[in-house]
């Protein structure tokens, strides 16, 4: 029973984007009887469209609309038009994601209190605490099927590749070594099968063993009869009335025709580049700097996590491609200890790449060629490697801006994505390189490759929550400080990035936001 | 107030970065200094002769060398696709002939020899490094990256399995087997 709503129906919640944030909002609201429309810029794929092929899936699902990389990070040079690696399609980046589902640590909600002012950064505490979010983390894990205590689902079995990392980690004295939590079924659950160790999790899970809103939240929302999903619909701007309340959105439909959908509430969940871009592109006489932007913080404080890669040639065969892409996690450096030369912490995540991606990213960009690169690739089956994911401190100048002249295919100013490392990031990255060298040396490997950041798969912070309206865009519910019926429901809400991969927290926040929003609607407050 | 220390590692990294940037800048100067006079407008680039094609193959093999692993065929396939493109695109034809002429001029300048006559692989790589940021070089490198490493027929040679869902993944095929430590 899929709903079909009228364009003039102004009783609806309009949700922009269908990924981790938007897809979850849709289902949570629909289950509560709140009528909603999801507008998704991308296509609908089915499991039949999913291939075990890195580049084929990259071109099928990536967001490849015009974008520019800027700032001091190497990507401004090496990935000039691919600042971020995220999805344009139904299900958003949950089609692509690897499934790592770690909760924030308590101190990661209050980095300002924990470390004081950090020179050159723009850090504030979250307006919520771990205690407040914990019940929603439980709900998120139950929803997503996260391995661990809450669901009772065991972690996935250790792959050979993870055993290599685990052994090296053990030899240097690490002990927080686990094959989860992952939102991947280790047993059949929620009408989805158990993982078969196919190994292309980031190309879309062919079996649906990995959680994605594409085949969980969205069809469940539609089945209630309270939710309509429209694909190939790119929202161009949000409109408001004389009082400043938002009244609906203007979008380009599948035929390229401009449509206007009325709304009682708008929830923006286009990921951390598109969400602030939409608010900035919705500037009006009343809001000349963009919607919800009295603080000037829309698009600012862009965080991607401090990331790095390390790959090494092992003395024996590994075949890292055999098994889940992220087969396990080491969390011995995730704590906050400024004595290491940086505040905050990082996780070490096993990450298998296929030959296609490894060849492009081992030494990324125009200078990545020559005997060293080709020699390493010949040893593919001996290689093992990790992705480092650490907290990235908010900096005001890391930002999304509208390009003054360049436009995308919809005629909207293209986004320019500025990212420059803070010295804290540099120190943390160097620390992780040193630790990984110890781990791989302990296994007898001496051929080690340090990779810089990939185009950002984790994008956060560009509409951050704040206690005080002058410090951020949203209150602790993800509701705009300026406009009561405008919400942001994706990772751009994050006040700080924490060290954990963001999706579990995005989903927990969306569950919490949906509860608040449904209540506020019932009380007639929005 | 926390001010992260400038670490030895960090400043070393910063130094490398500066060195790298200087290197790139100086390379670009070299590029400018050695640039050939532009062809008169309207002059059509001649198709490549046999010697030039042989040089191009040497260049391709030097970009991603696999001396013992791969024969010429996959390299040649990438070049053939570019040569076909050059037949209908004067820009691509021009890129190739000028790129090669530029390369030969550099080889002469540095080693007093044709590119192909430079016997040491690391010396040829050195010459190629001076043109690595040119469109000519990147066109060939980009083609090879896909043609060699995103080429399913070559994956077995590299020990990469590729698609596995058709055969049920690795759950019953030793995804967890490891014995060397
Ligand atoms: C390769 C990869 C691996 C990852 N692995 C992990 C992991 O292991 N663990 C983890 O926690 N996270 C992981 N992530 C990150 C995770 O996917 C994202 O953090 C998460 O999906 C973000 O949710 P979101 O709702 O903010 O945006 P998305 O999920 O990206 O959804 C945004 C959606 O909005 C749509 N949209 C944007 N603008 C508009 C518009 N104007 N109109 C209509 N629609 C619009 C987009 O098309 C998209 O579908 C990974 C990401 C990638 C790319
Ligand atoms: S390894 Fe498991 S989760 Fe990953 S794609 Fe395969 S079945 Fe899905």
Checking if the pLDDT of B34 tops 50, the result is no
pLDDT tens, residue by residue, A247-288: 999 999 999 999 999 999 999 999 999 999 999 999 999 999
Amino acid A235: pLDDT: 98
- Does the Cβ of A267 fall within 6 Å of ligand 1? no
Checking if the pLDDT of B60 tops 70, the result is yes
Checking if the pLDDT of B23 tops 80, the result is no
Q: Over pLDDT 70: what percentage of chain A?
A: 100
Amino acid B172: pLDDT: 85
Backbone angles phi, psi at A431, to 5 degrees: -60, -45
Checking if the pLDDT of B37 tops 50, the result is no
> What CA–CA distance (Å, rounded) separates A59 from B150?
13
The residue-averaged pLDDT of A170-189 equals: 98
Checking if the pLDDT of B41 tops 50, the result is no
Q: Hey, what CATH class is A1-97+103-146+212-305+456-526 in?
A: alpha beta
Instruction: Indicate yes or no: CB of A321 within 8 angstroms of CB of B179.
Output: no
Q: Over pLDDT 90: what percentage of chain A?
A: 99
Please indicate whether residue A265 or residue B166 has the higher confidence score (pLDDT): A265
B13: confidence class by pLDDT, cuts 50, 70, 90: very low
Cα–Cα nearest to B51, from B110, B107, B5, B115: B115
How many secondary structure helices (H) and strands (E) does chain A include?
12, 17
User: Do the beta carbons of residue A241 and residue A417 sit within 8 Å?
Assistant: no
Ligand 1 centre distance from Cα of residue A452 (Å): 21
Residue spans of the domains in chain A: they are 1-97+103-146+212-305+456-526, 150-202+309-390+420-455
Checking if the pLDDT of A201 tops 50, the result is yes
Token pair, residue A525, equals: 């407050």
The residue-averaged pLDDT of A457-462 equals: 98
Amino acid B174: pLDDT: 84
Token pair, residue A312, equals: 């090494």
Q: How many domains does chain B have?
A: 1
Q: Could you say which architecture CATH assigns to the domain A150-202+309-390+420-455?
A: 2-Layer Sandwich (3.30)
Instruction: Indicate yes or no: CB of B168 within 8 angstroms of CB of A315.
Output: no
Checking if the pLDDT of B42 tops 60, the result is no
Cα B4 to its chain centre, rounded Å, is 39
> What CA–CA distance (Å, rounded) separates A486 from A499?
28
Residue whose tokens read 């034809």: B93
The residue range of the domain holding B86 is 50-151
Nearest to B3 among A119, A318, A355 (CB): A119
Ligand 1 centre distance from Cα of residue A457 (Å): 8
Q: Indicate the range of A146-150, A461-465, B163-167 predicted with least confidence.
A: B163-167
pLDDT tens, residue by residue, B119-165: 999 999 999 999 999 999 999 999 999 999 999 999 999 999 988 89
Give the residue, by CA position, lying nearest to ligand 1 atom 38: A270
Checking if the pLDDT of A508 tops 80, the result is yes
Residue whose tokens read 């089915």: A46
Supply the pTM of this predicted model: 0.93
3-class SS at A69?
strand
In a domain, B172, yes or no: no
Which residues on chain B are in Cβ contact (under 8 Å) with A199?
164, 169-170, 175
Backbone angles phi, psi at A475, to 5 degrees: -85, -170
Residue-averaged pLDDT of chain A: 97
Burial (CB count within 10 angstroms: exposed 0-12, middle 13-18, buried 19+), residue B3: exposed
Ligand 2 centre distance from Cα of residue A210 (Å): 6
Q: Give the chain B residue whose CA is nearest to the CA of A428.
A: B10
B33: confidence class by pLDDT, cuts 50, 70, 90: very low
> What CA–CA distance (Å, rounded) separates B77 from B144?
9
Q: Over pLDDT 90: what percentage of chain B?
A: 65
The residue-averaged pLDDT of B20-32 equals: 39
Checking if the pLDDT of B166 tops 80, the result is yes
Cis peptide before A81, with omega less than 30 degrees from 0?
A: no
Complex ipTM: 0.87
User: Do the beta carbons of residue A443 and residue A171 sit within 8 Å?
Assistant: yes
Amino acid A1: pLDDT: 63
> What CA–CA distance (Å, rounded) separates A101 from B12?
35
> What CA–CA distance (Å, rounded) separates A487 from A32?
18
Amino acid B46: pLDDT: 55
User: Do the beta carbons of residue A153 and residue A147 sit within 8 Å?
Assistant: yes
Burial (CB count within 10 angstroms: exposed 0-12, middle 13-18, buried 19+), residue A318: buried
In a domain, B93, yes or no: yes
Distances in Å between the Cα of A148 and the Cα atoms of A178, A210, A212, B81 are 10, 15, 18, 51
Nearest to A423 among B10, B66, B133 (CB): B10
Checking if the pLDDT of A295 tops 70, the result is yes
Nearest to A443 among B125, B168, B181 (CB): B181
B4: confidence class by pLDDT, cuts 50, 70, 90: confident
Q: Which helix (H) or strand (E) holds A461?
A: none
């Amino acid at each position: 029973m899929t709903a079909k709503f009228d364009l003039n129906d102004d009783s609806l919640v309009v949700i922009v984007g269908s990924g981790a944030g938007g897809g979850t909002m849709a289902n949570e609201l629909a289950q509560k009887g709140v009528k909603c429309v999801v507008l998704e810029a991308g296509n609908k794929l089915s499991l039949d469209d999913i291939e075990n092929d890195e580049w084929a899936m990259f071109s099928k699902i990536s967001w490849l609309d015009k974008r520019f990389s800027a700032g001091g990070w190497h990507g401004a040079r090496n990935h000039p038009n691919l600042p971020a690696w995220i999805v344009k399609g139904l299900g958003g980046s949950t089609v692509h994601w690897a499934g790592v589902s770690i909760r924030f640590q308590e101190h990661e909600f209050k980095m300002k209190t924990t470390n004081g002012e950090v020179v050159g950064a723009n850090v504030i505490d979250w307006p919520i605490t771990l205690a407040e979010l914990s019940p929603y983390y439980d709900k998120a894990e139950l929803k997503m099927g996260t391995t661990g205590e809450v669901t009772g689902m065991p972690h996935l079995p250790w792959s050979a590749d993870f055993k290599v990392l685990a052994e090296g980690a053990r030899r240097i004295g690490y002990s927080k070594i686990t094959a989860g939590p992952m939102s991947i079924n280790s047993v059949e659950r929620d009408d989805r099968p158990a993982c078969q160790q196919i190994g292309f999790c980031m190309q879309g899970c062919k079996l649906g063993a990995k959680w994605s809103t594409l085949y969980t939240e969205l069809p469940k929302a539609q089945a209630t009869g309270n939710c309509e999903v429209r694909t190939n619909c790119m929202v161009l701007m949000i409109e408001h009335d004389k009082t400043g309340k938002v009244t609906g959105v203007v979008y380009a439909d599948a035929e390229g025709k401009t449509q206007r959908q009325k709304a009682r509430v708008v929830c923006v969940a286009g990921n951390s580049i598109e969400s602030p871009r939409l608010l900035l592109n919705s500037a009006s006489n009343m809001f000349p700097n963009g919607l919800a932007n009295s603080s000037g913080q829309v698009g600012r404080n862009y965080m991607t996590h401090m990331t790095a890669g390390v790959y090494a040639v092992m003395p024996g065969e590994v075949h890292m491609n055999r098994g889940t892409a992220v087969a396990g996690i080491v969390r011995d450096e995730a704590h906050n200890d400024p004595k290491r030369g940086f505040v905050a912490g990082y996780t070490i995540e096993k990450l298998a790449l296929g030959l296609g991606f490894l060849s492009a990213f081992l030494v990324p960009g125009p200078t990545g060629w020559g005997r060293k690169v080709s020699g390493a690739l010949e040893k593919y089956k001996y290689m093992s490697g990790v992705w480092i994911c650490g907290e990235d401190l908010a900096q005001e100048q890391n930002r999304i801006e509208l390009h003054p002249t360049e436009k995308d295919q919809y005629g909207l100013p293209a986004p320019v994505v500025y990212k420059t490392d803070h010295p804290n990031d540099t120190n943390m990255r160097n620390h992780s390189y040193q630790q990984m060298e110890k781990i791989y040396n302990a296994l007898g490997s001496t051929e080690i490759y340090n990779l810089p950041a990939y185009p950002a798969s984790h994008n956060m912070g560009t509409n951050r929550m704040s206690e005080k309206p002058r410090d951020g865009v949203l209150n602790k519910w993800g509701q705009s400080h300026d406009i009561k019926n405008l919400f942001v429901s994706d990772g751009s809400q994050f006040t700080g990035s924490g060290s954990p991969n963001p999706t579990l927290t995005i989903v927990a926040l969306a569950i919490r936001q949906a509860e608040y929003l449904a209540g506020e609607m019932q009380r007639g407050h929005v | 107030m926390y001010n992260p220390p400038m670490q030895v590692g960090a400043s070393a990294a910063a130094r490398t970065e500066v060195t790298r940037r200087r290197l790139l800048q100086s390379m670009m100067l070299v590029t400018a200094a050695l640039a050939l006079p532009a062809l008169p407008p309207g002059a059509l680039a001649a198709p490549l002769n046999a010697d030039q094609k042989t040089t191009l193959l040497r260049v391709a093999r030097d970009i991603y060398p696999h001396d013992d692993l791969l024969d010429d065929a996959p390299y040649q396939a990438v070049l053939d696709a570019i040569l076909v493109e050059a037949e209908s695109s004067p820009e691509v034809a021009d890129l190739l002939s000028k790129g090669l002429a530029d390369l030969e001029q550099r080889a002469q300048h540095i080693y007093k020899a044709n590119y192909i006559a430079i016997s040491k692989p690391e010396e040829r790589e050195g010459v190629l490094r001076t043109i690595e940021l040119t469109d000519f070089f990147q066109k060939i490198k980009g083609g090879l990256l896909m043609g060699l490493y995103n080429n399913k027929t070559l994956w077995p040679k590299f020990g990469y399995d590729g698609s596995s869902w058709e055969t049920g993944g690795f759950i019953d095929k030793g995804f967890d087997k490891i014995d060397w430590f």
